[in-house]
Amino acid sequence: HSSRRRGSSRSKQFRSRSDGPGHSPTSPSPQLEEMEPRLLEFEQDPPNWRELASPEALSSLSKKETKRQEVINELFATEHAHVRMLSVLQMIFSKPLEREQLLTTMELSTIFPNLDEIIEMHFYTLNLLRPFLHLVVSLFLSFCVSVCVFKFEGTEGEWFQKLTARFCSHQSWALDQIKSRQKKDFFCAFSSQEAESKPQCRRLQLKDIIPIEMQRLTKYPLLLENIAKNTEDPTEKERIKQSAECCRKILNHVNEEVKLMENLLVRNTQSITQHIVVE
């Protein structure tokens, strides 16, 4: 049973809280009416950093600085794509299933645990980076590093780890639960197939979209290590390496939580099977 966290006043403005597994946030955020235009916004890919930079700024960069900027741009572009797919998961799947009452509130909160908060967390990071994309100098690197330190270290890192661990540890159960419901319930199966046919899904099925948070976690340390490799300043390089190490620790923790949940599900299944055999 998760408890409320005391965090920085900055982050509290942007978050709702959930009191534990199986409980919906008391004030879900982002709200439905806020998410629909956001989903439309994210259908368009962000501009490449070269399109935003002046010719003078581009010509002043060394090969290593250019490579570093490419990786920073990849960090932003892939975060943008990740928020888009999380929004698809919410607006194309979770909300319609709730609206049509094909799944109970309890089932939804277990299949899509703290999805609102996960989206909000990534959207907040994206908005921190967005205004500074045109800065292809050390100022943007320093700001990017500060954002990563803010997100992955200290209290914010603990909160990020807690949210992602809860979401990712449920994904195997969620996939099994959805598969089971679709076999038993024609309307649930039809609703999912109809959702998957929408262009926003880009030919991905629900089973392909649910694991995206875990996939995103594996990407962060690789991107940060690549940025560090192309950074000359020793102080900045060390800060980026530190953030990458924090990412790896978070990833390892989430992997452990996933294994624990999978083992628990196996034991529960075996227990039920044995009980049926005995009867």
To 10 degrees, what angle do helices 154-169 and 115-129 make? 140
What pTM, to 2 d.p., does this model score?
0.78
pLDDT at 162: 95
CATH class of segment(s) 29-278: mainly alpha
Tokens of 153: 């270290």
pLDDT above 80 for 95:
yes
Query: How far apart, in whole angstroms, are the C-alpha atoms of residue 252 and residue 165?
Result: 10
pLDDT at 181: 79
| Residue 28, Ramachandran bin (φ over 0: left; ψ between -120 and 50: alpha; else beta) | beta
C-alpha 241 chain-centroid distance: 21
Q: Output the CA–CA distances (angstroms, integers) from residue 272 to 252, 259, 269, in the order listed.
A: 30, 20, 5
- Beta-carbon contacts of 129 under 8 Å, excluding residues fewer than 6 positions away, are 75, 76, 79, 143, 144, 147
pLDDT at 25: 38
Q: Quote the percentage of the chain above a pLDDT of 90.
A: 35
Most confident of the following: 94-98, 118-122, 175-179: 118-122
Quick: pLDDT tens for 165-204: 999 998 888 888 888 877 888 777 878 889 999 988 999 9
pLDDT above 60 for 60:
yes
